[in-house]
Amino acid sequence: MKLNGSEIVIECLKEQGVDTVFGYPGGTILNVYDALYKHGSEINHILTSHEQGAAHAADGYARATGKVGVCMATSGPGATNLVTGIATAYMDSIPMVAITANVAVPLLGRDSFQEIDITGVTMPITKHNYIVKDITKLADTIREAFRIAQEGRPGPVLVDITKDVTAAETEYVKEEPIPVERSTQYIKEKDLEQAIELINESEKPFVFVGGGAVISGASKELMEFVKKIDAPVADSLMGKGAFDGTDELYMGMLGMHGTKASNLGVTKCDLLITVGSRFSDRVIGNASRFAKNAKILQIDVDPAEINKNIQVDCSIIGDLKEVLTRLNQRIEKHEHKEWIKEIETISEEHPLKYNEEGLTGPYVIEQIYKVTEGNAIITTDVGQHQMWAAQYYRYKDPRTFLSSGGLGTMGYGVGAAIGAKVGRPDKVVLNIAGDGCFRMNMNEIATAARYNIPIIQVVINNHVLGMVRQWQTLFYGKRYSQTILNDGVDFVKVAEALGAEGIRVTKKEEVAPAVEKAIALGKPVVLDCVIDCDDKVFPMVPAGAPIEDTFDQDDLNKEA
């Protein structure tokens, strides 16, 4: 049948099983929105307050569901407002398709009103991107975009469509999506054999879990693998929930704000098995000193990540779920009782701890964990509150901790929480943010209120840019340059003005009742939790130092 370009866009979205789109209309994309209006009962559209919110919502939807997130924007500033959200998804390997419109083909390259070369702008932050200037290529381009977004190492793909293409007509034939196969073509028998040999020889193995374990859906296989080789486990920010955070072998996060048990465990081990991680600088610290006593086995779907940041002794390239399945079939059961005891002793001697006098960020997180029984989806912004949410909430399942890891995007959380709640309406969804982060995209609370999306926004309000202030305190002689936010902003009033419920919390005994009330209300709620401006995240490793140089407040007190 003959359809115009805008109708083809909608039909292709339906082909791909898309049920929700996050976006903001404008002049060049009006034809697409007109077609969307006619299909409102088939595709739900969430009008965000800002295009960046739409990109973060699509990202949160994708992380929470495992499906492709979709966002839309018009040309010019609409498209460029998506850029930070696209980059956030790119850095964390999140499948997303961003659809933008551009000026008509005859107007391209003429500095036309709201014209921007968005494919040029986003080339470094997408897996692939397109500008469609021929109506006959539109359907196949959108189909290919969804395939690329999902295959191998996932990521965002942008499709820019000129306005005349959205109006032109051509024949459309419905196609069923081709299933995306797991990447197995690079899994080599010799690599599997070498990995098994290293595992058999190891007396002190340690498993480090990254975001690839979440993406591949390998939690079951990972648990079987860990139990077979009898090794302690650490994770990255992106890997949280892939391995059960309540399991006795779990030792906590690794890296700059990782636990001493994990950081020292990796330093002491003789074999580090890294699954689905790219060895971020925040994880490895000083690369020349990282896992200095160990051989390193890296399993990753992306060949480009092998030997990029850390030289490894053995690697297996392929989908993690498939690789672990093959290893589990061939690995014999091991026991490392003395090694496990050694790491457990470090964990017992150096537990996570915080000042228990007065209201603190860790206390708020612990109370949220208790009230939700560890079953909520937690999104975060970036900073101290992000680290506390990673340290003090125990993630039992994958896709329950959503955070900007690679790009470190302040303002990510509210949009991501909206996307997560839309994608997983059965789950309680809370966004943990500092007051600095919340200011950046708090306008999206209006979006949640408009659609009555019952997210809970928890503001860890210390009236400063907490993580930056922490660095200024420790490394910059307490010169607090532009990090104090002690002004007249009232987040409870802001929440009410945006159509949500606002609750202020200033005492420890108020936290749990406030969280319980927020869940029971069934509407968007902002909890303004006021803490001290000098609370810090510990443990900590100075930038560029080896991870065994981790310190906490007790260590600072001893030096003083």
323 class by beta-carbon count within 10 Å (0-12 exposed, 13-18 middle, 19+ buried): buried
203 CB neighbour count, 10 Å cutoff = 11
Q: Are strands 169-171 and 2-4 parallel, antiparallel or unpaired?
A: antiparallel
Q: Which among 384, 467, 470, 491 is annotated as catalytic?
A: 467
Distance of alpha carbon 399 from alpha carbon 188, whole angstroms: 30
- Through-space distance between the first and last CA atoms of the chain, rounded to whole angstroms: 78
Residue 284 tokens, joined: 């490895």
**Amino acid, single-letter form, for residue 75:** S
Q: Which H or E run contains 201?
A: helix 189-201
51 belongs to the catalytic site:
yes
Kindly give the residue spans of alpha helices, DSSP state H, lying in 408-537.
Answer: 413-423, 435-441, 444-450, 466-475, 491-497, 511-521
- Residues forming a β-bridge with 207: 233, 273
467 belongs to the catalytic site:
yes
How far is the CA of 234 from the CAs of 206, 246, 249, 328, in angstroms?
8, 12, 9, 20
Q: Which among 14, 114, 224, 496 is annotated as catalytic?
A: 114
Distance of alpha carbon 140 from alpha carbon 322, whole angstroms: 29
Residue 381 tokens, joined: 């912004």
Closest CA to 487 of 516, 464, 503: 464
Distance of alpha carbon 554 from alpha carbon 260, whole angstroms: 13
Q: Give the three-class secondary structure for 26.
A: coil
- The tally of CA atoms less than 13 A away on the side-chain side of residue 516 is 8
114 belongs to the catalytic site:
yes
Distance of alpha carbon 528 from alpha carbon 359, whole angstroms: 12
Give CA 259 to chain center in angstroms: 20
Q: Which among 7, 51, 115, 444 is annotated as catalytic?
A: 51
Kindly report the backbone phi and psi dihedral angles of residue 448, in degrees, each rounded to the nearest multiple of 5, phi listed first. -60, -40
Q: Which among 127, 163, 260, 321 is annotated as catalytic?
A: 163
Residue positions annotated with a catalytic role: 51, 113-114, 163, 467
